[in-house]
A and B are shown apart, each in its own frame.
Chain A
Amino acid sequence: MPTHSESDAAIAEILSAHAHLEGPLLPMLHALQEAFGFVPAEAHEPLCKAVKITRAELKGVLSFYHDFRDHPAGKHVLKICRAEACQSVGGTAFAEDLLAKLGLEWHGTSPDGKLTVEPVYCLGMCACAPAVMLDEKLIGRADTARVEKAIAKVSA
């Protein structure tokens, strides 16, 4: 874990790197999440100052986008699509089966901290439903075995 002053410096650096943008709030939040794996609470105050918004406004934005986390996720993140097209080809049963195999609930993280599972609403892969995304990698026509294999591969 970085120390307080290290993370403060990292936050300051991220904020100043995006300060020139028009509407810099979302790019800053993405960059923070990229760097820390979540949006750390220590970033809230400097963030509000940097873009001249209040903590209430920041709360509104952070809570609107479910993708922004307030705590670290597992090392790898599996997003399982729960939108209509995936549901129409048995996505619900697939997801339940997969969660049971992984021993996790929605938004859960494995005890070894390696994997977090999150729902997502459409990955734009409707033609190859059901779809999942493991970290940045999309997997179409997913089934439990393929996904488990992919997880094993990245966790190795």
Chain B
Amino acid sequence: MKDFIIPWENGTGIQDETDRGTPAKSGKPVTLTIDGMEITVPAGTSVMRAASELGIQVPKLCATDSLEAFGSCRLCAVEIEGRRGTPASCTTPVHAGMKVHTQTDKLRKLRKGVMELYISDHPLDCLTCSANGDCELQDMAGAVGLRGVRYEAPKAGGLANHFEARNTSGEVNPEWLPKDDSNPYFTYDASKCIVCNRCVRACEEVQGTFALTIEGRGFDSRVAVGAENFLASDCVSCGACVQACPTATLQEKSVIEMGTPDRSVVTTCAYCGVGCSFKAEMQGDQLVRMVPYKNGKANRGHSCVKGRFAYGYATHQDRILNPMIRDTVDQPWREVSWEEALSFAAKKLVGLQQKYGQKSIGVITSSRCTNEETYLVQKLTRAVFGNNNTDTCARVCHSPTGYGLGQTFGTSAGTQDFDSVEHSDVVMVIGANPTDGHPVFASRLRKRLREGAKLIVVDPRRIDLLETPHMGEAHHLALKPGTNVAVVSAIGHVIVTEGLFDQTFIAERCDLDAWEDFKAFISDPRHAPEETEALTGVPAQTLREAARAFANGGNGAIYYGLGVTEHSQGSTTVMGIANLAMMTGNIGRTGVGVNPLRGQNNVQGSCDMGSFPHELPGYRHVKMPEVRKIFEDTWGVEIDPEPGLRIPNMLDAAVDGTFKGLYCQGEDILQSDPDTKHVAAGLAAMECVIVHDLFLNETANYAHVFLPGSSFLEKEGTFTNAERRINRVRKVMAPKNGYEDWEVTQLLANAVLKETGGKAWTYTHPAEIMAEIAATTPSFAGVDYAVLEEKGSVQWPCNEAHPDGTPLMHVDGFVRGKGRFIVTEYIATAEKSGPRFPLLLTTGRILSQYNVGAQTRRTENSVWHDQDVLEIHPHDAENRGLRDGDWVRLASRSGETSLRAKITDRVSPGVVYTTFHHPDTQANVITTDYSDWATNCPEYKVTAVQVSPSNGPSDWQERYNAQAEQSRRIEAAE
């Protein structure tokens, strides 16, 4: 079914995605003749693919170009002059001068015979089959001219088949299996299976989970999982098998229910920072399914359970579609017209500024919204409110990346594209859990690990990546939370003192004074792994081996996540990572680099767009008059030269009574930001909180104005992923709330401007906003919607010097000129375990849920994770008399909550771990307000806690839930 191609037209973004049967190769050119036509293809290409390049589609069933050739279906047989027999074109590589015939009488007969055998064990229910019109078996039966099947089952029964539940006498067919519909999103119907192995190979080659197999042999062969059904198996529901299946055997439930789609639009997933391209396949304005787009350069046709299936939130009944207002947060919400809500909000904001000063209000931009929307929100505060009080959720995730990489390399972004990992020889993953947080990237990484690349994981927890099937050498540095800097420095110490650094690279590319200072610093014996072992918990020998593996292993790449940044020394660790890459010469070419794995779909973009209080778009400081001038000329206003407030400062100022109004777009700071009680106190102290979101999120409990948001399916725009790739987001349905989010921001701006007498904004399409971004921001100078239409996507910088964008950064030199080594002194966090709080809590995410869960909790993904649990080591559990599944009380110096315990040796003794997907757990009640020294990024990853048995939810949780319920009331319409 997955050959299904809807004819494309302009504006849908779809480019040629013919299935060429086998993957592209990159050898020297070879010329051959197929059916009398000459073609030149790279050596290693299959005859099947070469034929496809000529427009000749050789019939096939087991081949598809996302998988290596398998040669089992025998349908793609061809004749080659001078060779005996009829070789399979998928497994036969091209040779110079080869003369191939794809259609002869012999082949026709052969293919018809093969097809007849397939169909003899397949039900002939095409008209009522869910794959009708989208089935490769059906297509091939047509292509080979199958007109009948001679192997009909005797009426009395006797001929075995897999598709009839009972024979004509009503006896049960032991070969028949009922449908497995345990997975919420797709079904497995063995009766339709032709055992082509495509699903098994997709699970292995594309996804790398190895959850599927062929059970039995010969006639008994069938696709099976390693457990009683799909849901109980290792399957992670990425959809690769469903995508690969040529029949209805593995089929999306949405297609079974709705039928085949009739149009298709390319867009970008709105979950994580990988930024996968998808085709939204539609019937009218109804979404039938999301299918990973083969030409998507971030995902190369792969997907994960969130992007592929978890889109149901967009039409969930909880979505708020009408604007609402209230005077105080203890009142119920009142649904009003857009005009009334906007004027209510505008009057309040203007009134606050008159009463408390120009700087008493601000905005929070969203990493979930588009570049264009984010640009407008920061413009709102800078150009309309007249201050720089803008911040974004990147504050709480990757702000140290911006600072750390900016200081060392000169720019705040990952250095590579995702394709680069295919050329890495040793990959260091620090404080990231890619299989859960960035699953599509993890699949690409795992593929490389199966090919022999070495893995080094620096993480307190034994993450799934360390259990990659068929992986080679792996090192796990299971450090104590909070000691990243000590570990990174110790790795640097080993590299420097054992002479494993790249002198040539350093001499050519780096600032030598800084290097000499750093070298002296890092060579000090106090950084030796033997010295730091007691502190970090990483055995010296393990660390030395890992350091040597990284320095000597060839192309070394570093990928890191929030386990690096969300610490009191987050920025220091980022700089330490940059030091490691520079000292080993692992910057500026394919297969190497330093790559932050960005948490959210557009966190890179929201940073690029000037969301920070001290930076205008393009990371240029607001103090610089020449930068302000560009925007002042464009916007026709004067820009405040003083940086504004960061999120934590806004909340502090609110508690102090000087910050009074907030426009918060697409972010739930109450649940996602640390020290929930403090956030709640800050919000409660404000007089006008405007929440612009899909749902009444936790922050909205303290809001006075609610502006309904639009989902990513309902708007035009762009997202920028972790590899700086600007991808188009396309509108596939009208906004259910009436306006796209950029329009709402414009309406709010204009409502305020009406009060203040300013000139109204007049954008009519996000393309105009992008044009303004390009005109004002050098790294985006070459970006426009026509370019994106033509190229699919570009990676910034995209300008005159790099008209096609920039897949690799720092190729000939660092952006800042010379790479700068920075001394990274380890300073222990003030958050320490002690007698009252003897354990260290660290937090993270899991595959099926996304961040605060506002979206994924409103999908079937909750079957995999319906509550947050606390992972605790068996030793610590036993000391406390805890059993698996018990309610436990989790307390820190900030607060306490209750959740269930899961006993596992994934975490080390002394460390506990939980996720923050569920508001009724509120893991952030526990976290403290310690933060990164440079950027205020909160220290989510280290909190000293105590765990004890409990009977159920804490008083605080119950009070909180009561307040939340109270505050979500909506007044009945009259």
Contacts and interface: CB of A to CB of B under 8 A. Distances in A.
Interface stretch (A10-18, A31-39, A58-66, A101-109): A58-66
A59 B213 contact: yes
Contact of A54 (B210, B214, B215, B217): B210
- Summarize B's interface: helix, strand, loop or mixed: loop
Contact of A56 (B216, B224, B468, B470): B224
A57 B213 CA distance: 6
A137 interface: no
Interface in A1-55: 52-55
Contacts of A63: 215-217, 224
B217 A56 contact: no
A59 B224 CA distance: 9
A54 B209 contact: yes
Interface stretch (B5-13, B38-46, B226-234, B545-553): B226-234
B657 interface: no
Q: Which of B209, B233, B234, B469 has the most CB of A within 10 A?
A: B469
A120 to B, nearest CB: 15
A64 B216 contact: yes
Interface string A51-88: 01111111110011000000000000000000000000
Given A59-B215, A60-B213, A64-B217, A54 B224 contact: no
Contacts of B470: 52-53
B226 to A, nearest CB: 3
B471 A56 contact: no
B748 interface: no
Interface in B118-158: none
B469 A59 contact: no
B854 interface: no
Contact of A60 (B214, B227, B468): B214
A56 B234 CA distance: 8
Q: Which of B468, B470, B471 has the most CB of A within 10 A?
A: B470
Contact of B211 (A52, A56, A64): A56
B195 interface: no
Contacts of A55: 226-227, 233-234
A59 B226 contact: yes
Given A52-B469, A52-B470, A52-B471, A57 B210 contact: yes
Contacts of A60: 213-215, 224
A66 B460 CA distance: 43
A60 B159 CA distance: 26
B34 interface: no
A52 B212 CA distance: 15
Contacts of B215: 59-60, 63
Size range of the chain B interface in the assembly: 10 to 19
B225 interface: yes
A54 B214 CA distance: 13
Interface string B182-225: 00000000000000000000000000011111111100000011
A6 to B, nearest CB: 22
Contacts of B469: 52-54, 57
B46 to A, nearest CB: 26
Contacts, number: 46
A55 B209 CA distance: 11
A98 to B, nearest CB: 25
Interface in B672-716: none
A133 to B, nearest CB: 21
Nearest to B474: A52
Contacts of B471: 52
B648 to A, nearest CB: 44
A48 B941 CA distance: 32
Interface in B453-472: 468-471
Contacts of B210: 53-54, 56-57
Contacts of A59: 213, 215, 224, 226
B508 to A, nearest CB: 40
A63 B471 CA distance: 24
Interface string B506-527: 0000000000000000000000
A54 B216 contact: no
A60 B224 CA distance: 8
A52 B471 CA distance: 7
A64 B234 CA distance: 20
Nearest to A65: B217
A53 B469 CA distance: 5
A91 B227 CA distance: 39
Contacts of A57: 210, 213, 226, 469
Contacts of B468: 52
B469 to A, nearest CB: 5
Nearest to B235: A56
Nearest to A55: B226
Q: Which of B217, B224, B226, B468 has the most CB of A within 10 A?
A: B226
Q: Which of A54, A55, A56 has the most CB of B within 10 A?
A: A56
A39 B77 CA distance: 41
A130 B895 CA distance: 79
Nearest to B468: A52
Contacts of A52: 468-471
A59 B213 CA distance: 7
Contacts of B211: 54, 56
A91 to B, nearest CB: 20
A46 to B, nearest CB: 14
Interface string A92-133: 000000000000000000000000000000000000000000
Nearest to B213: A60
A55 B211 CA distance: 8
Nearest to A66: B217
A19 to B, nearest CB: 15
A63 to B, nearest CB: 5
Contacts of B216: 63-64
A52 B467 CA distance: 7
Contact of A58 (B212, B226, B233): B226
Interface string B468-495: 1111000000000000000000000000
Contacts of B209: 54
Interface in B420-476: 468-471
A101 to B, nearest CB: 28
Contacts of A53: 210, 469-470
A85 B470 CA distance: 41
Nearest to B204: A57
A54 B207 CA distance: 13
Interface string B704-735: 00000000000000000000000000000000
A58 B209 CA distance: 14
Contacts of B224: 56, 59-60, 63
A63 B225 CA distance: 12
A60 B211 CA distance: 11
B875 to A, nearest CB: 19
A86 B212 CA distance: 37
Contacts of B227: 55
A59 B223 CA distance: 11
Nearest to A62: B215
A53 B213 CA distance: 11
Q: Which of B209, B213, B215, B224 has the most CB of A within 10 A?
A: B213
A58 B210 CA distance: 10
A116 B382 CA distance: 85
16 contacts: A52-B470, A52-B471, A54-B209, A54-B210, A54-B469, A55-B233, A55-B234, A56-B211, A56-B212, A56-B225, A56-B226, A56-B234, A57-B469, A63-B215, A63-B217, A63-B224
Per CB-CB distance, the 9 closest pairs between chain A and chain B, nearest first, are A60-B213, A55-B226, A56-B226, A54-B210, A56-B213, A63-B215, A63-B216, A64-B217, A59-B226
Given A56-B212, A63-B224, 9 more contacts: A52-B468, A53-B210, A54-B210, A54-B226, A55-B234, A56-B226, A60-B214, A63-B215, A64-B216
Interface of B: 209-217, 224-227, 233-234, 468-471
